């Protein structure tokens, strides 16, 4: 004979697991902004070097991220890819210059407020978003870029890279 209470409890538990697993896969990340072209002044006197470090506007990149509910977190990571040419002496970094906007009460965004060196090909954590019993949805998260290592010792050419952002579960 089937115990109706156990049968109902088991099915409710399975339904909760299915819903939870669906929510876990609903992290989203949208990247906006404009390309950054670094303007490097000419050297007019022998023996001088470039300033070496250059910064973009404080909102060069705009991110929007969502993390599902039920006490979960999303980790936003980044790396760069040479596009097509890059010099390993150039160091690309990023920092989050604000929290963006959210209507989520009790949710939080943390990390990434100091420059983080962006590695080539391997992701590094940039910041985290934590959801507490609500969808943590942030928009207009401003990101500033920094380029360092610019020197007269680098071959004169155009260097390009592409930053790749990802969001994943912790």
For residue 13, what pLDDT is reported?
46
The answer to whether position 84 is within a domain reads: yes
Strands 72-82 and 108-110: unpaired
The answer to whether position 76 is within a domain reads: yes
Name 92's bridge partners: 147
* CA 130 from centroid of its chain's CA atoms: 14
How many domains would you assign to the chain?
Answer: 1
103-124 in b/e form (b: 16+ CB < 10 A) is ebeebebeebeebbebeeeebe
The answer to whether position 42 is within a domain reads: no
Mind listing the pLDDT tens digit for each residue in 18-67? 344 444 457 889 999 999 999 888 777 777 787 879 999 999 999 999 88
> Which range, of 9-23, 53-67, 93-107, averages the lowest pLDDT?
9-23
Mind listing the pLDDT tens digit for each residue in 135-144? 888 999 999 9
- Containing structural domain, residue 160: 4-36+48-169
Cα 13 from Cα 35, distance rounded (Å): 48
The answer to whether position 41 is within a domain reads: no
The answer to whether position 43 is within a domain reads: no
The answer to whether position 124 is within a domain reads: yes
For residue 19, what pLDDT is reported?
42
The answer to whether position 88 is within a domain reads: yes
């Amino acid at each position: 004979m089937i115990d109706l209470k156990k049968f109902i409890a088991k099915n409710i538990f399975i339904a909760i697991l299915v819903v939870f697993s669906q929510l876990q896969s609903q992290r989203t990340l949208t990247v906006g902004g404009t390309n950054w072209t670094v303007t490097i002044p000419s050297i007019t006197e022998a023996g001088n070097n470039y300033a070496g470090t250059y910064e973009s506007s404080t909102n060069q990149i705009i991110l929007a991220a969502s993390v599902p509910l039920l006490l979960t977190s999303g980790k936003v990571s980044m790396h760069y890819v040479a596009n097509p040419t890059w010099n390993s002496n150039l160091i690309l970094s990023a920092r989050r210059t604000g929290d963006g906007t959210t209507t989520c009460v009790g949710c939080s965004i943390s990390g990434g407020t100091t420059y983080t060196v962006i590695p080539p090909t391997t992701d590094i954590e940039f910041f985290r978003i934590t959801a507490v019993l609500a969808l943590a949805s942030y928009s207009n998260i401003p990101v500033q870029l920094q380029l360092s290592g610019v020197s007269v010792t680098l071959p004169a050419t155009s260097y390009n890279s592409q930053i790749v952002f990802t969001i994943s579960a912790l």
